[in-house]
Chain A
Amino acid sequence: MTIAEGAPATSVADVRLSTFERLPWRRIILVLLAIVIVAVTTIGIYKTLTSPEAANYSGEFWAQLTVDGLSYGAILSMVALGYSMVYGILRMINFAHGEVFMAGGFASFFFANAYAKSGFLNSNTVVAVLIVMTVSVLVSVGVALLLERVCYRPLRNAPRLVPLITAIGASLFIQNSFRGFFGPQSYGYPRPSSLNGQVPILGVHVNKIDIAVLVVAVVCMLVLQMFVSRTKTGRSMRAVAEDREIASLMGIDVDRTIAITFAVGGVLAGIAGVLFGMTFQQIQFTSGFTLGIAAFTAAVLGGIGSIGGATLGGFLIGVLRAVGPVLILTGFGIPSVHSLNEAFVFLVLVLVLVFRPGGLLGTGEAEKV
């Protein structure tokens, strides 16, 4: 088949494509999918709320679930920020970030435990917690910097597959090293007695520790936002994220900036580690892995590379996880909906990415021509 000389390009395309191929299939499928999702969700919610079990689900019940979700989401957000920042600057996922979080939390456990035993934790809570957090941050930052130096710096120009796999290997390595050091069992993490108990807020019983976690998380994020937008280092980070070559031409020490980015992620993860320990009062060598994947999901859901995205993603995942299965799946008569928590969250992620491949706060398009 020859191309007619001088014919405009469009008519060639028309000749080669059949009607079948010219339909906007992608659009059609997306629209259909959206309709199905909305229908399923609405029907599910309706059936749940009118089902016999729902007689027990008061407004307070849903509020309580939401609060629980927000609290877990706060911790997720802080860890997700680490993922997001590293990705923003390096375009690489630090798969081992969950272990950065676990390392700090675990290291701080020994100090926290000692202080709890001696009573220092309850008598000088603020000082004790500050020291514990400092230890956690130091260890997390140390692990993060080690990761950067060993796994990311040598592979900076490699195809994306390589550092990702390396990070997976590093994650396994760190996790099992901690298992080797400290054993496979879980350790009970102490909580200052002043943070025990609940306060009733608008009819919902909120745990004091959850409030503390939310406050600390929000403060950290605000500080981070200010750091990135106002300080010189923050500007360097944004510059390197924008365009590494030109940033270095401008005199920015790229290596140092990247290391600082990892370190900042480590600081957040370290703080999150202490918060996690005090919330759940337990830490184990596997604590970082599952949470890491959840935080990674949160970062992608929100739009990886942006601080706002990671925050939004974290809280959203937390709430979705707590409320979603109960609200939507119970209506369909599925037994033990909580066993499908993770599946539900991932399904949401996949669907979000189908419609917005860059994440919620990302661009709407995946392609860049």
Chain B
Amino acid sequence: MDVRRLVRVGAICGAVTVYFALVGLTDRFAKLALVGSSVTMGRLVLVIAPLIAGYAVGRPRTRSGTTVSLPIRDAVVHGLVAGAIAGAVFALFVIFVDAFGVERVRGVFINVSPAMMEYVTFGQTAVVAALILTAASAVAGGLGGGYPVLPVTLRKPTGSAVLAVFALGFLQRIVPIALDQLNVERDWLYSRRLGGLTWAGAVVVAAIAASLSILKQRKGDRIRELVRAPSVEGSTRPSGTQIVVALVLLGLVLVTPLLVGSVISNVLGFVLIFALLGLGLNIVVGYAGLLDLGYVFFFAVGAYSLALLTGASLNTFTGSGPPAVSADLNFWVAVPIVMLIAAGAGVLIGAPVLRLRGDYLALVTLGLGEMVTVLLRSPWLEPLVGGPSGMRGVTDAAIGGFGFQDPVHFYYLGIAFVAFAAFISWRLASSRIGRAWTAMREDEQIADAMGVSTTRYKLLAFAMGGAIGSLGGALFAVKIGSLTPASFELLVSIQVLGIVILGGIGSIPGVIVGSLVLVGLPGLLREFEEYRLLAYGAAIVAVMLLRPQGLVPNVRRSRELHEEDEAQDKWAGDVPRDEHVAAGISPEGTGAG
């Protein structure tokens, strides 16, 4: 038993629990019931770190090429110890606060309140609470330790069951609404009084999840084969099964807003807007390999151009006024013009940064994005874009009399645009332009020597990526109907980058998934708003460390910016050409190419 390791892991996880308490998670979600009345989020926060400690010490490790897996008894014991240590660390913290005085600690760490202390001590004295915490953490650690060494047939169903119960308990604001919308009886599943799952409901959910997992284990490969294989060996035409699957998926996508109601459709509308932005950035970052940290620029250009072209007015002190330059066009006439403007702006952006690589490019694009925010707010451009008060009265994207203001209608408009953008991205990827980008990304100098004009293709990337991004901006303007500079800040650029990275660089379905996770979830779980950015940062770090190829990776395009970027540095000397890409990318990949 490597005691040092156990102590180290345990101590770190204990510190994590302390962190949760200091940052306010334990307190804030103490009451959020996941199952029944006793399994609350607060309690989960207290034991999750010890559980992970147990998992970390119990799982099989690879040493010198061989995988060593502990017998289950040892794994559990390891987990118990690590969990106990984690619990002890947190218990020490509790004792310390108690001894020092809650109010004094609260003067520094605002979340250490009497209420929080009451919660973590379970109403007992500090010493008794310490014992309870250590014991509970030990149990959690033991469970975590035992889990990875269970036989696969037991492990996966258990994992799926627990995950499913947690997910449905966590999403207690969304799922019941959707069920209500479908007129499905749901009181057996979700307790109205407590908010979370009922015990009966939890058992059912666990059973279903476990069964699905077992099914996947037995039949998964066969099903996958069936879906993937073409009808005739070597042909590119989709097989019958594939067509049916595609149709079913398409049908689901189309009926979703009718199933989930207008509140959720509203959130999905934003998901689609950000998916558009993501597709645009995907062209710049994913296809052409240009790290753009200022993508909000195109978002703003799209939104404000559309507003100005469709006759929106400025919000002024006395009411509203016309902008210095405006036109009163129909939405559908204005959109191509907006795309052209964005493409032109993209060329303008691209021109000065042609020769920059990597980090320099990132910084300059970041600066350009910031400039946009500054300019939108400035008194100088106020006669054009309305300054901080912004603009209002963007025309609806109506066709005939059919308007898109309703969230459900807007969803379909969004789907149409996203489909259009996805189609263009897909065609670009396998076109000459796409191949030129790939060449450029792989080795810029050789590409240049082969006659691929990097200048032209870089500018093209900015132009096309920008044009698609501007579509997102235009839709945004239509959806909200009024624009303020507050919606166009650096954070948007980071969010879009996060969507592309999380989903998988260069992967079109990845962008959709990324948007669902990074825009959809926070939009639906609005009571976690305060912790949104914190979770965001943690998620980005976690993804980059654990799975940098993203959720739905794209094989070819997951190769990222190359080392010859370092040629920009005079100190570089001969940097070894490292073929390593970040851990975890397998050549086979799993996403669609």
Chain A interfacial positions (CB closer than 8 Å to B): 87-88, 91-93, 110, 150-151, 154-155, 157-166, 168-177, 179-183, 241-243, 245, 293, 296-297, 300, 304-305, 334-336, 339-343, 346-347, 349-351, 353-354, 357-358, 362-363, 366-369
Q: Which 10 A-B residue pairs are closest in the complex by CB-CB distance?
A: A169-B540, A172-B537, A173-B537, A180-B23, A368-B567, A346-B367, A159-B560, A176-B534, A158-B582, A166-B544
| Cβ–Cβ < 8 Å partners of B380 in chain A | 334-336, 339-340
Interface hits, B569-593 → A, CB 8 Å:
569-576, 578, 580-583
Which residues B300-336 have CB closer than 8 A to chain A? Answer: none
**Bound form: Cα–Cα A347–B368 in Å:** 8
Which stretch (B46-54, B352-360, B422-430) binds chain A? B352-360
A170–B22 contact, CB under 8 A? no
Closest CB-CB distance, A146 to chain B, in whole Å? 11
Contact of B374 among A170, A243, A343, A362 (CB under 8 A): A343
Question: Would you give the shortest CB distance from A310 to chain B, in whole angstroms?
Answer: 14
Query: With contacts A88-B571, A350-B364, A368-B572 known, is A357 near B370, CB below 8 A?
Result: no
Are B23 and A168 in contact (CB-based, < 8 A)?
no
- Interface residue? B539 (CB, 8 A): yes
C-alpha gap A150/B541 in the complex (Å): 9
Number of interface residues of B (CB under 8 A): 74
Q: What are 24 sample pairs from A and B whose C-beta atoms fall under 8 A apart?
A: A87-B359, A151-B545, A159-B563, A161-B560, A164-B291, A169-B540, A169-B541, A173-B534, A175-B533, A176-B537, A177-B19, A177-B534, A180-B24, A180-B534, A182-B108, A339-B378, A340-B380, A343-B370, A346-B370, A354-B352, A354-B355, A357-B355, A358-B570, A366-B356
Residue among A297, A305, A366 with most chain B CB within 10 A:
A366
Bound state CA distance, A359 and B377, in angstroms?
A: 29
> In the bound complex, what is the Cα–Cα distance between A48 and B580 (angstroms)?
55
Given A180-B22, A366-B568, CB of A166 within 8 Å of CB of B362: no
Given contacts A169-B536, A297-B363, contact A157 B580 (CB under 8 A): yes
Are A169 and B544 in touch, CB under 8 angstroms?
A: yes
B370 neighbours in A (Cβ, 8 Å): 293, 342-343, 346
Cα(A106)–Cα(B536), bound, Å: 22
B111 within 8 A of A: yes
Chain A residues lying within 8 Å of B580, measured Cβ to Cβ, are 157-158
Distance, CA A180 to CA B581, complexed state (A): 35
Counting chain B CB atoms within 10 Å of each CB, the highest count among A87, A161, A362 belongs to A161
Given the known inter-chain contacts A93-B359, A357-B356, please indicate yes or no for A160 contacting B561, CB distance below 8 A. yes
If A339-B374, A340-B380 touch, whether A166 touches B541 (CB-CB below 8 Å) is yes
Contact B363 A300 (CB under 8 A): yes
The A/B interface has a contact count, at CB < 8 Å, of 201
A243, closest chain B residue (CB): B573
By a beta-carbon cutoff of 8 Å, the part of chain B in contact with chain A is: 19, 22-25, 108-111, 285, 291, 352-353, 355-360, 362-364, 366-368, 370-371, 374-375, 377-380, 445, 494, 497-498, 501, 505, 531, 533-534, 536-541, 544-545, 548, 559-576, 578, 580-583
The residue of chain B having its C-beta at the shortest distance from the C-beta of A87 within the complex is B359
| Complex contact B111–A181 (CB within 8 A) | yes
> Which residues from A are CB-within-8-Å of B375?
340, 343
Question: How far does the alpha carbon of A368 sit from the alpha carbon of B379 in the complex, in Å?
Answer: 44
- B363 and A296 within 8 A (CB): yes
Closest to B530 in A: A180
Q: Is the CB of B379 within 8 A of A171?
A: no
Residues of B within 8 A of A341 (CB): 374
Closest to B497 in A: A165
Chain B: CB-nearest residue to A305: B571
The answer on a CB contact under 8 Å between A243 and B545 is: no
**A-B contacts besides A172-B536, A343-B378, 13 pairs, CB < 8 Å:** A159-B559, A160-B358, A160-B563, A163-B544, A165-B497, A170-B537, A173-B541, A176-B533, A180-B534, A242-B571, A297-B367, A304-B569, A339-B380
CB pair B110–A161 under 8 Å, yes or no, is: no
B560, A172: Cβ atoms under 8 Å? no
Residues from chain B with a CB closer than 8 A to the CB of A349 are 363-364, 367
CB atoms of A181 and B379 under 8 A apart: no
| Shortest distance between the CB of A301 and any CB in chain B (Å) | 10
B243 → chain A closest CB, angstroms: 37
> Is A172 a contact of B494 with CB atoms below 8 Å?
yes
CA distance A110 to B22 in the complex (A): 16
Of the listed residues A157, A162, A168, A241, the one surrounded by the most CB atoms of chain B closer than 10 A to its CB is A168
In the complex, A162→B572 CA distance in Å?
Answer: 19
Contact B360 A353 (CB under 8 A): yes
> In the assembled complex, which residues on chain B have CB atoms less than 8 Å from the CB atom of A358?
568-570
Residue in B360, B575, B582 whose beta carbon sits within 8 Å of that of A357 in the complex: B360
Minimal beta-carbon separation of B577 from chain A (angstroms): 11
A168 to B540, CA, bound (A): 8
Asked, given contacts A181-B22, A181-B111, whether A172 binds B352 with beta carbons under 8 Å apart, the answer is no
Q: Give the most central of A154, A350, A362, A363: most B CB within 10 Å.
A: A350
Known contacts A159-B582, A350-B367; is-contact A357 B568 (Cβ 8 Å):
yes
Q: Whole-angstrom distance between the alpha carbons of A151 and B445 in the complex? A: 30
Query: In the complex the two chains form, what is the Cα distance from A150 to B285 in whole Å?
Result: 25
Q: Please measure, in the bound complex, the distance between the C-alpha atom of A152 and the C-alpha atom of B538, giving whole angstroms.
A: 15
A300 to B364, CA, bound (A): 10
B residues within 8 A CB of A346? 367-368, 370-371
A172→B490 CA distance, assembly (Å): 12
Contact A171 B356 (CB under 8 A): no
B84 to chain A, nearest CB (A): 25
Q: Given the complex, which residues of A lie within 8 Å of B574, measured CB to CB?
A: 243
Given contacts A159-B561, A177-B534, A180-B23, contact A166 B540 (CB under 8 A): yes
Known contacts A169-B537, A366-B357: A347-B371 contact under CB 8 Å: yes
Min C-beta distance of A226 to chain B, whole Å: 20
Question: Hey, which chain A residues are within 8 Å of B291, CB to CB?
Answer: 161, 164
A10 to B160, CA, bound (A): 66
Residues of B within 8 A of A88 (CB): 571
Bound state CA distance, A91 and B541, in angstroms?
Answer: 19
Quick one: closest A residue to B564, CB to CB?
A: A368
Flag if B545 contacts A166 (CB, 8 Å): yes
Chain A residue at minimum C-beta to C-beta distance from B107: A110
Q: How far is the CA of A79 from the CA of B545 in the complex (A)?
A: 26
Q: Write out the residue numbers on chain A whose beta carbons fall within 8 Å of the beta carbon of B531.
A: 176, 180
B548 touching A158, Cβ below 8 Å: yes
* Residues of chain A contacted by B362 (CB below 8 angstroms): 93, 164
Which residues of A lie under 8 Å from residue B367 when comparing CB positions? 297, 346, 349-350
**A169 pairs with B568, CB closer than 8 A:** no
Assembly CA distance A339 to B371 (angstroms): 11
Name the one of A243, A347, A362 contacting B570, with C-beta atoms under 8 angstroms: A362
How far, in angstroms, from A243 to B573 measured CA to CA in the complex?
Answer: 7
| B contact residues around A336 at 8 Å (CB) | 378-380
Are A155 and B582 in contact (CB-based, < 8 A)?
yes
Residue of B111, B374, B375, B498 with most partner-chain A CB within 10 A: B374
Give CA–CA (A69, B571) in the complex, Å. Answer: 30
Closest to A161 in B: B560
Q: With both chains docked as a complex, state the minimum distance between the C-beta of A134 and any C-beta of chain B, in angstroms.
A: 18
By beta carbon, the residue of chain A nearest B375 is A343
Bound CA span A174–B364, Å: 24
CA A150 to CA B542, docked complex, whole Å:
10
Residues of the A chain whose Cβ atoms lie less than 8 Å from the Cβ of B548: 158, 162
Asked whether, in the complex, the Cβ of B545 is within 8 Å of the Cβ of A155, the reply is yes
Task: Give the chain B neighbours of A87 by CB distance below 8 A.
Answer: 359
Tell me whether A353 and B364 are in contact (CB under 8 A).
Answer: yes
Chain B nearest CB from A262 CB (Å) reads 17
A174 to B545, CA, bound (A): 17
Residue of A177, A293, A334, A368 ringed by the most chain B CB atoms within 10 A: A368
